[in-house]
Amino acid sequence: MNEPHPRPTVLVVEDDPDNQSLMVALLSAEYEVLLAATGADARAHLANRENDLSIVLMDLALRGAEDGTSLTRHIRERFRERHLPVIVTTAFALNRDRRAALDAGCDAFLAKPIEPDELLGVMTSLLGRCPGRRS
């Protein structure tokens, strides 16, 4: 008998509690969801769960000393040996914001309010898998 595949782990880097709750409600059926409200919280998850992480959802504007662009650069540096997909989920939807995020190494850019089907489709595409399977 085949064992079921573990759920992929998504790190949601988001400082707004309402948006955190929305992401948990949207993703928890198919993903293990980790929440980080600051760059420091995200770095702790990156250090402690490095091998478990499948994908990152990144807000650009975070409370604290580090923003999402800087944190994405850190992820790209830390995960040189394997690609960890990063999707920006932000209210900063100007072309310059998109360009800065993509230049920092983000794989996709979704402006808030986010359409759930679009987010799930982009996640599935970046993971190269069917929902419910680890990449």
Report if residue 133 sits inside a domain: no
Average pLDDT, the chain: 89
Report if residue 132 sits inside a domain: no
Number of domains in the chain: 1
List, for residues 91-112, the tens digit of each pLDDT value.
988 899 899 999 999 999 999 9
Task: Report how far Cα 118 is from the mean position of its chain's Cα atoms.
Answer: 14
SS3 25: helix
φ and ψ at residue 54, rounded to 5 degrees: -110, -35
pTM of the model: 0.89
| CATH assignment at residue 28 | 3.40.50.2300
For 2-35, letters b (16+ CB in 10 Å) and e give: eeeeebbbbbbbbbbeebbebbeebbeebbbbbb
Residue with tokens 């969801």: 33
| Alpha carbon distance 27, 80 (integer Å) | 26
Report if residue 24 sits inside a domain: yes
Report if residue 53 sits inside a domain: yes
List, for residues 35-79, the tens digit of each pLDDT value.
999 999 999 999 999 889 999 999 998 888 899 999 999 999 998
